[in-house]
């Protein structure tokens, strides 16, 4: 097996490229190393071989969930390889991030995801980075009293 040299492989579809680039920028600014097709796959390279290499050298695969991602041709093998490496999710090898509302079915539906839909930019960044660290989602303020006041 190849040595893991990158923190994240970003799996996305071209329709969601703006999200992929924004998320990758946030990760790199936070000190993570990444592989992003738009930035790292060179002209003239074989796309399938580059994807295969990315899934082998990245510790984790970040999946950008959207309706287009779910229906895209090449995205399933990308997340399936991360799932194969960690089927119980103990290492967080497969880390879905929902960027647009979309229905999840099959194996992907059973995996918890970071939900970034309709959040302001600052909250999106905070939730993304906390999710990558797999921290508890403790609210900033106490929950309201559920009984009668």
pLDDT at 107: 87
Nearest to 23 by CA among 69, 56, 57: 69
Average confidence score pLDDT of the chain: 90
- Set out the domains of the chain in order of their start, with CATH numbers: 6-132 (3.40.50.10140)
How many whole angstroms separate alpha carbon 61 and alpha carbon 139?
27
pLDDT in tens, 119-146: 999 999 999 999 998 877 788 899 999 9
Give the Cα separation of 93 and 111 in Å (integer): 11
What pTM does this model have? 0.87
């Amino acid at each position: 097996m190849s040595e893991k040299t990158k923190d994240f492989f970003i799996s996305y579809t071209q329709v969601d490229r703006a999200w992929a680039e924004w998320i990758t920028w946030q990760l790199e600014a936070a000190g993570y190393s990444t592989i992003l097709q738009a930035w790292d796959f060179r002209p003239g390279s074989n796309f399938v071989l580059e994807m295969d290499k990315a899934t082998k050298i990245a510790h984790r695969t970040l999946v950008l969930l959207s309706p287009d991602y779910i229906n895209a041709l090449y995205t399933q093998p990308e997340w399936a390889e991360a799932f194969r490496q960690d089927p119980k999710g103990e290492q967080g090898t497969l880390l879905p991030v929902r960027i647009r509302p979309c229905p999840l079915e099959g194996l992907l539906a059973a995996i918890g995801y970071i939900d970034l839909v309709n959040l302001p930019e600052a909250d999106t960044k905070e939730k993304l980075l906390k999710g990558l660290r797999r921290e508890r989602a403790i609210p900033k303020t106490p929950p309201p009293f559920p009984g009668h006041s």
